[in-house]
């Protein structure tokens, strides 16, 4: 496929790394010079050019700009009726994208995660699932999303990853100050959390770690008494409401 990418930042770079060996012809916008030229150096089938040339040379265009910046940037560019656009932008609905890429078709919203670079990642998709599957699978798993409100809820909920990572980071630092090989703590804790949750629903893990007076129960309850659950719900509600 001839694939063009407008906005070659963090997530688009991960996508390119994930699909570049599938034989596509990939064209990147030169604006994101650091990422774009590094990818062109890495893969023979990746080239770099102006935004308009990216569009002119492509049948499928991935837009990975910040949603707020996209209307101004795309307004100056010309799309064709035979092109399909996949938006990677969190916070722009399919209707929003359709309005700024006409006469091209806004085919899908695809929200990948950085793990797509090496495969084995989940990809949230609204719209033309088959088009996204042709790019992202079998290496990754597509999660189809029904409508705008479900997408907004998933986008808000996935943001739990950063606070979870912060909890592990702070616990690692706490542990490092107390043990003889501090560098082992991060790997130990990440493996503990990831392997415990990989195949078991979170509620069951909480129950299994609910021994009365046990360390897990005591730490969880002390965090809950400090308002952790209310703060989480307020934060998620705020993201969903775009506050």
Query: Which residues here bind ligand NAP, judged by CB under 6 A?
Result: 6-12, 29, 31-32, 35, 51, 64-67, 69, 73, 88-90, 111-114
Count other C-beta atoms under 10 Å from residue 210's C-beta: 12
Could you tell me the smallest distance in angstroms from the CB atom of residue 30 to ligand NAP? 8
The nearest distance, CB 34 to ligand NAP, in angstroms, is 7
What is the closest distance, in whole angstroms, from the C-beta atom of residue 79 to ligand NAP in the complex? 15
Residue 15 or 84 having the CB closest to ligand NAP: 15
Residue closer to ligand NAP, measured from CB, 86 or 185 = 86
Query: Strand order of the sheet with strand 141-144?
Result: 46-49, 25-29, 2-6, 60-63, 84-87, 105-111, 122-127, 141-144
E runs forming strands in 72-197? 84-87, 105-111, 122-127, 141-144
**Shortest approach of ligand NAP to residue 116 CB, angstroms?**
9
Q: Which is nearer to ligand NAP, 10 or 78 (CB)?
A: 10
Q: Is 237 exposed, middle or buried (0-12, 13-18, 19+ CB in 10 A)?
A: exposed
Closest contact distance (angstroms) between CB of 10 and ligand NAP is 4
Q: Which is nearer to ligand NAP, 100 or 185 (CB)?
A: 100
Here the contacts of 139-146 (C-beta below 8 Å, separation 24 or greater) are 139/18, 140/18, 140/112, 140/116, 145/109
Give me the least distance between CB of 236 and ligand NAP, in Å please.
17
3-class SS at 111?
A: strand
Of 69 and 192, nearer to ligand NAP (C-beta) is 69
State the residue for tokens 């308002």. Answer: 227
Nearest to ligand NAP of 8, 105 (CB atom): 8
The answer to whether 107 and 1 have CB atoms below 8 angstroms apart is no
Residues 205/197, Cβ–Cβ less than 8 Å:
yes
CA–CA–CA angle 15, 20, 21 (5° rounding): 130
- How far the first Cα of the chain sits from its last, in Å, is 39
Nearer to ligand NAP, 24 or 64 (CB): 64
Nearest distance, CB of residue 56 and ligand NAP, angstroms: 15
**Closest residue to ligand NAP, based on beta-carbon distance:** 9
């Amino acid at each position: 496929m001839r694939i063009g990418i407008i906005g070659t930042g963090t997530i688009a770079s991960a996508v390119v790394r994930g699909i570049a060996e599938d034989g596509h012809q990939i064209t990147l916008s030169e604006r994101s010079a650091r990422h774009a030229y590094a990818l062109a150096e890495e893969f023979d089938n990746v080239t770099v050019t102006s935004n308009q040339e990216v569009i002119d040379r492509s049948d499928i265009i991935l837009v990975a700009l910040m949603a707020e910046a996209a209307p101004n940037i795309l307004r100056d560019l010309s799309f064709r009726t035979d092109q399909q656009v996949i938006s990677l932008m969190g916070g722009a609905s399919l209707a929003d994208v359709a309005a700024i890429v006409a006469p091209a078709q806004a085919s899908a919203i695809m929200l990948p995660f950085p793990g797509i670079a090496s495969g084995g990642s989940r990809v949230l998709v609204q719209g033309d699932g088959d088009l996204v599957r042709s790019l992202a699978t079998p290496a990754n798993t597509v999660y189809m999303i029904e409508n705008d409100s479900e997408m907004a809820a998933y986008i808000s909920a996935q943001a739990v990853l950063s606070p979870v990572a912060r909890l592990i980071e702070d616990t690692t630092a706490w542990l490092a100050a107390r043990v003889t090989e501090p560098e082992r703590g991060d790997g130990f804790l990440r493996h503990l959390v990831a392997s415990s949750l990989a195949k078991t629903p979170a509620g069951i893990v909480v129950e299994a770690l609910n021994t009365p007076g046990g360390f897990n129960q005591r730490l969880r309850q002390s965090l809950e008494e400090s308002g952790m659950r209310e703060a989480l719900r307020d934060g998620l509600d705020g993201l969903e409401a775009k506050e």
